[in-house]
Structure formats: structure tokens, C-alpha cells
Amino acid sequence: MLKLSKKMLFAIEAVVDIAYHAGSLPVQNREITRRQGIPRRYLEQVLQHLVRAGILIGVRGPRGGYRLARERRRISVGEISRVVRNMETAGNPIEEEAGSAIGHKVVRPLWQELENEVMERLNTITVEDLCLLAHQKGIESEIHQKLDFTI
């Protein structure tokens, strides 16, 4: 069942943060927690799941962190949502056998239909779209501060 949880918000914000502020350089989780105000205990768990799902790449070492595994235009909000939903899923009430005929034949199919529509919409929104929106909203990217032009 699609549910907007803190982890879902944190995951989406973290991926967009990495895409918007990093460029090709890895972003350390402490930078994300500083910019987004995301508790570190949530963030590390979410980031590891996103790495296993092929959305992020973990880079080891003192200058390591996380970077996108693919171009930001090739990562959808729906994909990120599915990763978090799979993390959180203990059981889906729609799939439970208990319930009335109205629940099984009317309410649950309606809810499933709405969930499918929301996921279809989220699949059309990319990390690139959110980065462009952040730029339009005047959010300053820190990527310019990291550029080093020394030769």
C-alpha cells in the first residue's frame, strides 16, 4: 500500500540532494543530513537500500559517499518509492483475507486502482524534473562551491 512516510520523503529528498548538489562527485551522508535535516539513523538505512536497488552507488574511502548510479533523468520518483515501500512493508491490508464482501469487492479494488494511478504518475516524474524545479524555485546548488579550477 502506498503510504507517504518519513522514510519515503527522506529517500526522495536524499536522491534529489545528491543529484542537485554533487555532480559527478560523491556526497557524504553528513552533507545530506546538514542540508536536508534528515536524521542520520534513517538516512544510512535508506541509502543502503537505494544502493542495493541500483539507484545509488556507494563510494568507499575518505572522499567517498554516494552518487547516482544512472543519469538523473533515468531515475523516477516511482522507482525510489518502490524501494522504500519494500523496506517498510510488513503486510498489505489489501491482501489480507479478513474483511467483508464490500471490502473485498468495492473498497480494496478502489484503493488498489488509486494506488496504481499514483504510482503511474510517480513513474513519470524523474529526479531531473525535481532538480529543475529546485533550480526554478531558487534553491542554490552547492556544486559550484566544489568546483576546483586549479591546474
Which of 64-68, 94-98, 103-107, 143-147 has the least mean pLDDT?
Answer: 143-147
| Interatomic CA distance for residues 38 and 76, integer angstroms | 21
Per the model's pLDDT, the better-predicted residue between 44 and 144 turns out to be: 44
How does DSSP assign 85-119, residue by residue?
HHHH-S--GGG-S-S-HHIIIIIHHHHHHHHHHHH
Section 58-78 average pLDDT? 93
| Interatomic CA distance for residues 15 and 47, integer angstroms | 9
CATH dotted code for 6-91+126-146: 1.10.10.10
Section 49-54 average pLDDT? 96
- Helix, coil or strand: residue 76: strand
Asked whether residue 61 carries a pLDDT value surpassing 70, the answer given is: yes
pLDDT digit string, tens, across residues 75-127: 999 999 999 988 876 556 666 677 788 988 998 899 889 999 999 999 999 99
Q: What is the pLDDT of residue 148?
A: 47
Domain ranges of the chain: 6-91+126-146
Section 26-36 average pLDDT? 90
Q: What is the pLDDT of residue 41?
A: 81
Q: What is the pLDDT of residue 117?
A: 95
Q: Which amino acid, residue 150?
A: T
Section 16-26 average pLDDT? 86
Helix axes 40-52, 29-36, angle to 10 degrees: 120
| Interatomic CA distance for residues 82 and 128, integer angstroms | 18
Section 11-18 average pLDDT? 94
Which of 29-38, 75-84, 95-104, 131-140 has the least mean pLDDT?
Answer: 95-104
